[in-house]
Amino acid sequence: MTTPIRRRGPYRFAAMAVQCTWCRARRGELCTNQRGNTDRRKDVHSARAMDWIRVMSTRCPERICQAPTSQPCTIAPDAHQARITAANTPTVTP
């Protein structure tokens, strides 16, 4: 018997679905100050927000998901790791 994927409630900030590159807060955790001892309660770091915008402007490459741009991943409660990787991979234009 398989168990269904447990859905999480929405994050306080949508950008919490990706790791913060500035303070290294993990997925689902609030950003912190430089020392890592105080949570930011009003917003997330701008680097994290920019990463989230980049992820949401990329189509999910997971074969079973294929979420279009500006739509959340359908299977996982967070963005798929493949989508995050694809968003961070630079594209070459001729």
Assigned token pair, 64: 């079973």
- Cβ atoms 69, 57 nearer than 8 A: yes
Q: pLDDT in tens for each of the 94 residues of the chain?
A: 565 555 555 788 888 888 999 998 988 889 998 777 888 888 899 999 999 999 989 888 888 888 888 888 887 767 888 888 888 777 666 6
What pLDDT, on a 0 to 100 scale, did the predictor assign at position 93?
64
What pLDDT, on a 0 to 100 scale, did the predictor assign at position 7?
56
What is the Cα–Cα distance from 7 to 45, expressed in whole angstroms? 25
Rg of the Cα atoms in the chain: 14
